[in-house]
Amino acid sequence: MARKLSTRKRPDRDVHMIREQLKIEEGIFDTRTMMCLWRMFNHSVVTRLDFVLKTGKEADVYIADAGEKAQGSEYVILKIFRIETSSFPKRMDYIIGDPRFGKVKSSVHEVVNTWCKKEYGNLKAAEIAGVHAPRPYYFKGNVLAMEFIGVGGKPAKTLKETELDEPQQTLDLILADIKKLYAAELVHGDISEYNVLMERDVPYLIDFGQAVVLNHPRAQEFLERDVRNILGYFSRRYNITKDEDKVIDEITGR
Among residues 14, 98, 207, 226, which one is catalytic? 207
- d(CA 129, CA 4) in angstroms, rounded, equals 35
226 is catalytic: no
Among residues 60, 98, 190, 226, which one is catalytic? 190
- d(CA 48, CA 26) in angstroms, rounded, equals 21
Which strands sit side by side in the sheet containing 157-158, from one edge to the other? 157-158, 196-199, 202-205
12 is catalytic: no
CB contact at 8 A, 123 and 149: no
Q: Which residues are tagged catalytic?
A: 190, 207
